[in-house]
Amino acid sequence: MQKKSSTSATKSAKNSNTTFLTFNITQKLAISGIVIALYLVTMNLTQSFAFGQYQVRIATSLYALSAIFPFLILPLGLSNLLSNIMLGSLGFLDAFGGLIAGLLTSYFVYLIKKSPRIPNVLIGLPILLIPGLLVPIWLSYLLNLPYLVLAVSLCVGQFFAAIVGVILHQVLEKRLKTNEQK
């Protein structure tokens, strides 16, 4: 019989719609760093179609991770800030706006997951709607384009990220439940 170490992740809360794991601070920092790096690498690899008027940001599908790992809300917002600073060229307003959009999106993904009455598949809605409707507010000013044109084009791009996010969540949750049963 194996003895559980104090550094292993353990299940902390479970109801019909949520399973959250408990990690120590070192594990949370390590996972956060990995997720930030993954977000930045994904943005770097997809930057040709992730910035500007038409944005397909596959990296924003990672916001779905906050449904299972709520401690990733802040790191995911920071990821957006860092990617806009490192890869975008629209300045402080875009970088700070990206931080706010990332925090809000991750937080609403978490809230949907936490609610037992809302189906998990709806975690894609914040991934679609928050960046799709919030980001055009400042992009319309920075790019001198109409809000509606930007909102439609960003929502189209975020549609793909939302689908990938829902799939990522479903696969990861299934994997965690399988490991839990062993």
The more confident residue out of 6 and 146 is 146
pLDDT value of residue 86: 94
Is 5 a residue whose pLDDT tops 70? Answer: no
Q: Quick one: what percent of the chain has pLDDT higher than 70?
A: 87
The pLDDT value recorded for residue 97 is 96
Report the 10 Å Cβ neighbour count for 97.
21
For residue 21, what are the β-bridge partners? 11
Establish how many alpha carbons lie within 13 A of residue 26's alpha carbon, considering only the half-sphere containing its beta carbon: 4
Residue-level pLDDT at 173: 93
**17 pLDDT exceeds 90?**
no
**Whether the Cβ atoms of residue 113 and residue 120 lie closer than 8 Å to each other:** yes
Token duo for residue 159: 């549609």
Give the bridge partners for 13, in sequence order.
20
The H or E element containing residue 76 is helix 73-86
**pLDDT of residue 10 exceeding 70:** no
Structure tokens at 148: 């509606």
100-147 residue pLDDT tens: 999 999 999 999 999 999 999 999 999 999 999 999 999 999 999 999
Is the model's pLDDT at 179 over the cut of 80?
A: no
Question: How many C-alpha atoms does 138 have within 13 Å on its Cβ side?
Answer: 15
What are the strands, taking DSSP E only, across the chain? 10-14, 19-22
Percent of the chain beyond pLDDT 90?
Answer: 76
Q: In the structure encoding, which two tokens stand for residue 74, read together?
A: 């802040």
Q: Quick one: pLDDT at residue 53?
A: 67
Q: Amino acid identity, residue 60? A: T
User: In the structure, what pLDDT confidence band is assigned to residue 75 with cuts at 50, 70 and 90?
Assistant: very high
For the domain with range 21-177, which CATH number is right: 2.115.10, 1.20.58, 1.10.287, 1.10.1760? 1.10.1760
Write down the domain spans for the chain.
21-177
